[in-house]
Amino acid sequence: LRRCDKATPNSLLAKLCVGVAKLMDTSDTIFRNKGQKDYSKIGMPFLAHISLQSSLHRAMADSFLAADAWIKSQYGLAIAHQKRAIVIFNKLPVPYNTSINFDLQNVRVESLSILESYEKDNSSIYFETIPEPNPLPDGLIMFKPEPYILDEPVFLKFGTPPLNSKNEAEPGKDLEGGK
């Protein structure tokens, strides 16, 4: 949950997380509505993963909003957002992939540690009341379209090249025996 690039504002990271969550919700809706006859053929682990990612990104958005509020000295609001993030993290279903489960457990522990730190500082230094968290911002989706360009095809001739008198392939000779 700690950002890597300190130049990227936490509020932007929150908006991007909400954007990803909305994309996941949209894909799930498309699978359910437009692919009704094939919906049952889609593996449940895949569908569960889409739902997990949507909720996970909403929780991450709240965590980034908490960090943003803390930086802006809105300590009570930071605690409110961090609490809501933890509630969402704790409601996440157990993923099918065990490596994701391990990562989720680490995120839950780190989120709780951040909340405890916020609450300790607020109860001993700032004494701000804890308001209701703000609604999540509108999602932001950023991507640069990349054109898909096909490489020129390379045609290969299959078969064995003709052999010389020593039963070795002659370099540079094709199947017809010419160059």
Residues in the chain: 179
The CA-based diameter of the chain, rounded to the nearest angstrom, is: 95
**Cα separation of 160 and 157, whole Å?**
9
Query: What is residue 68's predicted lDDT score, i.e. its pLDDT?
Result: 95
Q: Are 173 and 98 a contacting pair, CB within 8 Å?
A: no
The pLDDT value recorded for residue 156 is 76
The mean predicted confidence, pLDDT, of the chain is 84
Q: What is the mean pLDDT of residues 99-104?
A: 81
Q: Is the pLDDT of residue 165 over 70?
A: no
Q: What pLDDT, on a 0 to 100 scale, did the predictor assign at position 161?
A: 64
